[in-house]
Structure 1
Amino acid sequence: MSDWKKFLTEQRIAYFSMEIGLTAEIPTYSGGLGVLAGDTIKTAADLKIPLVAVTLLSRKGYFLQTIDDQGRQQESPNTWDPEKLLECLPAKTLLSIEGRDVKVQAWLYRVTSPSRGQVPVLFLDTDIPGNADEDRGITDYLYGGDQAYRLKQEIVLGIGGARLLAQLGFSIRKYHMNEGHASLLTLELLTRSRRPLEDTWDERNSWNTREVISKCVFTTHTPVRAGHDQFPYELVERILDHEIPLDLLKGLGGQEQLNMTLLAMNLSQYVNGVAKKHGEVSQAMFPGFEIHAITNGIHPFTWTSPYFVNLYGRYLPSWATEPEMLVRVDSIPDAEIWEAHCGAKAYLFQYISETCGIELDPDILTIGFARRVATYKRGDLIFTDLERLLRIGEGKLQLVFGGKAHPHDTPGKELIHRIMEVIASCRDRIRMVYLPNYNMEVASRLIPGVDLWLNTPMRPLEASGTSGMKAAINGVPNFSVLDGWWIEGHIEGVTGWSIGPPSKGNSTSQNHTAEDVEDLYAKLENTIMPLYYQDRAGWIRVMKNAIGKNAYYFNTHVMMRRYVTEAYCH
């Protein structure tokens, strides 16, 4: 008999996220948002924070990426078998979507920490006999389909998730919405908290928004306007069956369209961005709201290479549960830091050889750039003046790229194609490789194995940028535009290097491409490469500073302690 009912014995924080990245075996994530959610859950288990997470099952994943002979991304379903990894719970709930009854069930996965803390994760699923064929596919693809498909998924996540928690017997203290995808849970809470009509002076006043607000926390993750889901009310009226009067819904979610971010903000007691700068940018985007900032982090043990896990274990035994101990990294001899890094580099290069048939030189400075492919992240910025890059780097630089573009993002897919064209045209002068199907497993090899982590977004569109934190905990310095977390973590020449001028103001239309390109090439040629090749002790000092001044603080243990004391305690 399952012991899942042990999770019902205390009040919990319900953490809702459209995507959650726990392991590459469970491909229910697309990028940083989902991996951040997974790291949050793992840290809640480490710290024994009473959390329950809710997400979608995404039976066919996000997608598997291959790069064809013409250098173009091709997608295929990433089908996995939940029966082998999860436990189906004995409860179902019913939703009305487009006037049809849709059953939703939950699969349970337990995230267990060495500290013996455990967090249940519920994966919601509509692939149930009795549901119409089109409804059985609602939870198939992460971010798949059209607007109607997305809205149906968000109904399942928000309303279905809230109902299943109640049906299973969970007692919820707070509902934490990780991005606006789960915002419809507020409508379910509104319906539950409705006061009897005879006790109020009109129908609108019967909806107890104050009670809902007291239960909700909302984290926004993007200053890119396209990243905030909006649905035409005509579509909402056709698909979503709810009791909330249209005028009240428009008052909470926006007059023109249902803006999921606005809905969440209007019905949350605590709203935050994911870095100090992102909090300021979000405040400018949504004036009238009080928007706090809790900087994202990474789960220390998950993202530290085995070579550094062993090294930290010898010198800083409690580092995984007390990452603040990394501030003592200077107690580790330089030679052992370098040896651990060389091990991680060899591990990556072996994977590249096996996957792509390309042999990289372990003695050459190797730069990594891998993340979700979107044009504002400017993955090809380093190629702006290709002749200059070749002059600087021939025989002295290697580059490793990775990342998926959304199947509907044509400009993002074209960016991959351009990078592949440059890789092909320069193969005799600078060795470069694009690793296909970038996921958690590939990232765990790639990030620790490069010498320098490159990040070149258009400022201020990088909300946080957790890949740079994953680099830092492995002693890989950042070379990044001053945006997101790097504004807080950067000390020039100490923890890494900046690219271009600081971010000024909160406009999302800033562009310093010419300055960024010039600074990138100049620092690479005159500062970074000489340090790497001519002053190994100086380079290792920067590696140690990345660990002791960045990784000790920019982790989910620090982040979650702030959520507990600032967001969950009221």
Structure 2
Amino acid sequence: MKAIRRFTVRTLLPAALQDLDELAHNLRWSWHAPTRDLFETIDPHLWATVKGDPVALLGALGPERLAALAADEDFVAQVRTSAQDLHHYLVDPRWYQSVASQGRSMPAAIAYFSPEFGITSVLPQYSGGLGILAGDHLKSASDLGAPIIGVGLLYGAGYFKQSLTRDGWQVETYPVLDPDGLPLRLVREADGSPAIVSVGLPSGRELHARVWMAAVGRVPLLLLDSNVPENDEAARKVTDRLYGGGGEHRLQQELLLGVGGVRAVRLWSRLTGAVEPEVYHTNEGHAGFLGVERIRELVTGSGLTFEEALEAVRAATVFTTHTPVPAGIDRFESDLVAQYFGGDNSTPGIGVDKVLGLGAENYPGGDPTMFNMAIMGLRFGGRANGVSLLHGEVSRGMFSELWPGFDETEVPIASVTNGVHAPTWVDRRLIDLAAERFTSEEVATGTGWLRTDGITDTELWAMRHTLRTQLVKNARGRLRASWRQRGASPAELGWVDDALSPDVLTIGFARRVPTYKRLTLMLSDPERLRALLTDPDKPVQMIIAGKSHPADEQGKRLIQQLVRFTDAADVRNRIVFLPNYDIAMAQALYPGCDVWLNNPLRPLEASGTSGMKSALNGGLNLSILDGWWDEWFDGENGWAIPTADGVEDADRRDTLEAAALYDLIENQVAARFYDRDERGLPVTWLEMIRHTLATLGPKVQATRMVADYVQHLYAPAAVAGRELGADTFAGARELAAWKATVRSEWPNVRVDHIESGVGEVPQVGDELHVRAYVSLGALSPSDVEVQVVHGRVTEADDLSTFGTLPLAHDEAYEGGRHAFGGDVKLAASGPFGYTVRIVPKHARLASIAELGLVANAT
């Protein structure tokens, strides 16, 4: 019989144990092993039953057990000590405060918006890499003391749980989550009533949302929940599922995230006294409407025009793009977006046409009927970045049409390579071993792993065997549960006891299953894969996991194809597919795998972070040179799978790259793993592990990533925002007026004539004298920079690599004509070329390409 309602009854803790409530509700426990140990000691069996969920554990304890714990003086002392440790963690100065104390101008607070956050499996509000990255961002910000406020949505069913049918087809279920049973607290008004934010919808409807707060260490994460009595039935379903529903449903989610998220931040500041954010960071374009809401605040509250408010908002906004393909970007019909910002929801001074212009694809090849969320993110983002060096390059090419006339290298999209939160993903045994043997500096730099006197090869190999054994045990349990769910009887599953082996080379592959990640590349030649798996001397075993989006039928077919292969009796003890890939599975999978496989279609992997987590556990990467691996592969930390770039036929490309993968596994990976010395140790393999831990370890940390964001994006954005906001936004008003003038006059700007001179036989060290005559219309010479663009040229006279030199103003003539001149030193031999161009110049521009205006010599 099904219940018609459900709710969670909270535990009433004795006074002596009140600190347990804070310890359970601050998600620091998810990466702080001593706190988890404390909860486990309460009841180890129950702790395992609730899957390591402190809130569920406390809720399952009876009054007698709680009374006994309250009477246990030793346990109460442990609780008090843990609470004091958490308190110090929350308030003591950390890296951020240290940097600020050195005089660096740092943001008072940063708001970080994302549609998903992967903090812990106990709070299933994530689908894949974007959410895991967002979770690691918050955790690392907390560890660094960075004053970040996270903003997202609370989904009633989170993302789906995955299971398989008997024939290997993915099945999705959506267990309903009760917020009262999660490590969350409802944000309340002073009178105790739930705090509400509201967003206008078409036809006079309103979308209301309660705000829940998850404490991620020092970072408050605000999650908006539309399943509230104040909403009609349709509005209650807006936050029903992560990435669920169609176009308008998604639009409403993103409207609530962006507009409602800003209002939630304001509400949080009002109720708690928290500092208002100076910088807003949108993780992908999903939260882009936050910029529209901030413009509305400035237009209605400070009397700015739309254009003036846009400048103030842009200056203090950071936008991170995560997709290397246009298909990965959310786009909505412009007419649909207009319904949400017109009519009853319009704001005087902010016409619908202005809002639509923010996301308009008004460039060659764009669709004028569509509103593009990434384009809006870039137009709002005074500072923008990709998530690896290669992805930054790909992004500059993908969005170059927004800056016509500029070289792709000048498109204002930088790079901050992703990282991972080591305390979350590194096995505790490895952490404890490093802490025991190395100094804190050796741990931080990774150099300790190179000390064979600190950890011998025998000890390191034993640790790897322990982690592999742990994974095999975990995988067998998951495999048995999956087969039972698929309908197999216990009598059919005796083989599971021998599935996988703690002594066999173990390759892991786990990720979402879009086509470009090529889950089934390994099946290109099934017989060759079978031979690798069953090799009598150098066997390989593979553990595979991944979810396909519920609407992605092709992805589901790929999973089914792989599962059918893994079901075969002759290989099922060497290759397994584990359903319902999540954080909990990942935390067992990464440490136990010897090799992490990644074979996307290059260059479609923006960054990828699973291989980073494996590396931190002593795993070696076997990957296509894409994302972060393209940046940090050094020939000794793993293997690069050769690619068939330029091969147009997709099937042929897959065949070629699969063959290269098989060759690597057989002739290098497996050969090296099984190459043992007289002690039975794979010495060369262990050298690669040490090298990986020492060199990749420091690089792949999310603390490095967040520090990069702080120093290169957040701090400059805060300074720019303050400059434009000072004196009742005088800077924003001036910049908007200047841009309007430049745009109106730019049709009159041109390079009229160039004179140059150099020796008859130019040599290195000579100077090229350049004098440019230009027309500026009504603009003054201070409004522009006239540049010589110079460097190496190809046979087609294209500047392949170049630098720029500003020319000095020499003379002014009638009719807005001017002369500029300067000298270019010839610093290198070889084919040399140059041209002259004019770009806008203003002290408050984040880049010369910001306006997308340039007058090139013809």
Matched, 1:435 2:578: yes
Which residue of structure 2 aligns with residue 368 of structure 1? 508
* 2:694 partner letter: G
Structure 1 gaps, min length 5: 113-117
Work out whether residues 482 and 503 of structure 1, in 8 Å CA contact, stay in contact via their aligned partners in 2.
no
Which residue of structure 1 aligns with residue 643 of structure 2? 501
Which residue of structure 2 aligns with residue 458 of structure 1? 601
In 2: Cα distance, 1:520 partner to 1:499 partner = 6
Deviation of 1:187 (Å): 0.4
Deviation of 1:389 (Å): 2.0
Which residue of structure 2 aligns with residue 97 of structure 1? 201
* 2:260 partner letter: G
Aligned residues: 553
Which residue of structure 2 aligns with residue 115 of structure 1? none
Which residue of structure 2 aligns with residue 335 of structure 1? 458
After superposition, what is the alpha-carbon deviation per residue over 1:340-380, rounded to whole angstroms, capped at 9, x for unaligned? 22121111111122121332111111111000111100011
Deviation of 1:428 (Å): 4.0
Q: Between the two proteins, what is the percent identity of the paired residues?
A: 37
Which residue of structure 1 aligns with residue 356 of structure 2? 250
* 2:518 partner letter: R
Work out whether residues 62 and 78 of structure 1, in 8 Å CA contact, stay in contact via their aligned partners in 2.
no
Structure 2 gaps, min length 5: 1-17, 27-89, 92-106, 189-194, 361-367, 404-410, 481-495, 677-681, 717-858
In structure 2, which of residues 670, 688, 697 is the aligned counterpart of residue 529 of structure 1? 670
RMSD: 2.5
Which residue of structure 1 aligns with residue 277 of structure 2? 172
In structure 1, which of residues 316, 323, 326 is the aligned counterpart of residue 446 of structure 2? 326
Which residue of structure 2 aligns with residue 544 of structure 1? 690
Deviation of 1:277 (Å): 0.2
In 1: Cα distance, 2:582 partner to 2:353 partner = 43
Which residue of structure 1 aligns with residue 251 of structure 2? 151
Q: 1:501 to 1:323 in 2, by over 3 A?
A: farther
SS in structure 2 of the partner of residue 69 of structure 1: coil
After superposition, what is the alpha-carbon deviation per residue over 1:61-115, rounded to whole angstroms, capped at 9, x for unaligned? 1001001111011000133222131110012122112331221221111112xxx
Work out whether residues 276 and 295 of structure 1, in 8 Å CA contact, stay in contact via their aligned partners in 2.
yes
SS in structure 2 of the partner of residue 545 of structure 1: helix
SS in structure 2 of the partner of residue 290 of structure 1: coil
Which residue of structure 2 aligns with residue 350 of structure 1? 473
Deviation of 1:317 (Å): 5.2
* 2:327 partner letter: A
Which residue of structure 2 aligns with residue 230 of structure 1? 331
In 2: Cα distance, 1:222 partner to 1:97 partner = 29
Which residue of structure 1 aligns with residue 133 of structure 2? 36
After superposition, what is the alpha-carbon deviation per residue over 1:312-358, rounded to whole angstroms, capped at 9, x for unaligned? 22123547xx9633233112322222222212111111112212133
In 2: Cα distance, 1:95 partner to 1:429 partner = 53
Which residue of structure 2 aligns with residue 182 of structure 1? 287
Q: 1:311 to 1:484 in 2, by over 3 A?
A: same
Deviation of 1:249 (Å): 2.3
Work out whether residues 26 and 80 of structure 1, in 8 Å CA contact, stay in contact via their aligned partners in 2.
no
Matches within 5 A, 1:112-123: 112=217, 118-123=218-223
Q: 1:179 to 1:350 in 2, by over 3 A?
A: same
Deviation of 1:195 (Å): 7.4
In 1: Cα distance, 2:226 partner to 2:551 partner = 24
Which residue of structure 2 aligns with residue 132 of structure 1? 232
Which residue of structure 1 aligns with residue 437 of structure 2? 315
Which residue of structure 1 aligns with residue 36 of structure 2? none
In structure 2, which of residues 690, 713, 716 is the aligned counterpart of residue 567 of structure 1? 713
Which residue of structure 2 aligns with residue 194 of structure 1? 299
Q: 1:234 to 1:283 in 2, by over 3 A?
A: same
In 2: Cα distance, 1:242 partner to 1:349 partner = 59
In 1: Cα distance, 2:674 partner to 2:643 partner = 26
SS in structure 2 of the partner of residue 238 of structure 1: helix
In 2: Cα distance, 1:204 partner to 1:130 partner = 32
Which residue of structure 2 aligns with residue 388 of structure 1? 528
After superposition, what is the alpha-carbon deviation per residue over 1:370-398, rounded to whole angstroms, capped at 9, x for unaligned? 00111100011111111122233314011
Work out whether residues 533 and 571 of structure 2, in 8 Å CA contact, stay in contact via their aligned partners in 1.
no
Worse-superposed segment, 255-264 or 35-44: 255-264
In 2: Cα distance, 1:266 partner to 1:126 partner = 29
In 2: Cα distance, 1:49 partner to 1:324 partner = 19
In 1: Cα distance, 2:340 partner to 2:213 partner = 28
Which residue of structure 2 aligns with residue 86 of structure 1? 184
SS in structure 2 of the partner of residue 425 of structure 1: coil
SS in structure 2 of the partner of residue 172 of structure 1: coil
Deviation of 1:550 (Å): 1.1
Q: 1:92 to 1:323 in 2, by over 3 A?
A: farther
SS in structure 2 of the partner of residue 284 of structure 1: helix
Task: Name the TM-score, length of structure 1 as normaliser.
Answer: 0.92
Which residue of structure 1 aligns with residue 700 of structure 2? 554
Work out whether residues 430 and 617 of structure 2, in 8 Å CA contact, stay in contact via their aligned partners in 1.
yes
In 1: Cα distance, 2:326 partner to 2:651 partner = 14
In 2: Cα distance, 1:221 partner to 1:37 partner = 12
* 1:79 partner letter: V
In structure 2, which of residues 411, 421, 426 is the aligned counterpart of residue 304 of structure 1? 426
In structure 2, which of residues 535, 538, 544 is the aligned counterpart of residue 401 of structure 1? 544
SS in structure 1 of the partner of residue 224 of structure 2: strand
In 2: Cα distance, 1:61 partner to 1:501 partner = 37
In 1: Cα distance, 2:448 partner to 2:145 partner = 25
Deviation of 1:426 (Å): 6.0
Task: Name the TM-score, length of structure 2 as normaliser.
Answer: 0.62
After superposition, what is the alpha-carbon deviation per residue over 1:381-432, rounded to whole angstroms, capped at 9, x for unaligned? 1111111222333140111100110100111111100101111236447621
Matched, 1:24 2:121: yes
Greater radius of gyration (CA): 2
Work out whether residues 173 and 215 of structure 1, in 8 Å CA contact, stay in contact via their aligned partners in 2.
yes
Deviation of 1:182 (Å): 0.3
Deviation of 1:196 (Å): 9.0
Choose between structure 1 and 2 for higher RCO, CA contacts under 8 A separated by at least 6 residues.
1
Worse-superposed segment, 93-102 or 272-281: 93-102
After superposition, what is the alpha-carbon deviation per residue over 1:544-570, rounded to whole angstroms, capped at 9, x for unaligned? 222111122111011111100000012
Q: 1:215 to 1:355 in 2, by over 3 A?
A: same
Work out whether residues 394 and 430 of structure 1, in 8 Å CA contact, stay in contact via their aligned partners in 2.
no
Matched, 1:424 2:567: yes
In 2: Cα distance, 1:64 partner to 1:303 partner = 21
In 1: Cα distance, 2:558 partner to 2:263 partner = 42
Work out whether residues 42 and 111 of structure 1, in 8 Å CA contact, stay in contact via their aligned partners in 2.
yes
After superposition, what is the alpha-carbon deviation per residue over 1:161-220, rounded to whole angstroms, capped at 9, x for unaligned? 1011112224111000001000000000111122799x88xx764x52110101210000
In 1: Cα distance, 2:115 partner to 2:652 partner = 31
* 1:341 partner letter: R
SS in structure 2 of the partner of residue 400 of structure 1: strand
In 2: Cα distance, 1:460 partner to 1:511 partner = 17
